[in-house]
């Protein structure tokens, strides 16, 4: 069974508005789940330091050897940013 993100259904609704369609929302959630499976709960990262330490790890400058991994991380960074933006709106 796939573990859902905290507030995943609400986040999906938010993404459909922000990104304009359900397919992009689905892709973004999939990327967030993938990051969460490697980095622990995104919700906990957000609550710890607003996700700053995780975003720093996801945004490091690539070397030629890890360029493909870095490109995947850029997609991850954007998806996680959407999630953190959503969580910040919940706390307003």
Establish if 3 belongs to a structural domain.
no
What is the pLDDT, as a whole number, of residue 1?
66
Per-residue pLDDT of the chain (92 residues; tens, 9 = 90+): 678 999 999 999 999 999 998 999 999 999 899 888 888 899 999 999 999 998 888 776 555 555 555 556 677 888 999 999 999 998 87
What is the pLDDT, as a whole number, of residue 63?
57
Are the C-beta atoms of residues 66 and 91 closer than 8 Å to each other? no
Establish if 58 belongs to a structural domain.
yes
Establish if 28 belongs to a structural domain.
yes
What is the pLDDT, as a whole number, of residue 19?
92
CA distance 11 to 89: 11
Establish if 44 belongs to a structural domain.
yes
φ, ψ for residue 4, nearest 5 deg: -80, 155
How many domains does the chain contain in total? 1
Q: Which domain holds residue 26?
A: 8-90
Establish if 13 belongs to a structural domain.
yes
């Amino acid at each position: 069974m796939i573990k859902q993100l905290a507030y995943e259904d609400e986040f999906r609704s938010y993404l459909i508005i922000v990104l304009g369609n359900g397919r992009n929302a689905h892709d973004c959630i999939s990327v967030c789940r993938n990051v969460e499976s490697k980095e622990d709960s995104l919700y906990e990262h957000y609550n710890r330091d607003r996700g700053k330490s995780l975003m720093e790890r996801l945004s490091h400058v690539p070397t030629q050897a890890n360029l493909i991994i870095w490109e995947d991380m850029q997609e991850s960074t954007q998806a996680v940013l959407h999630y953190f933006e959503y969580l910040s709106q919940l706390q307003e």
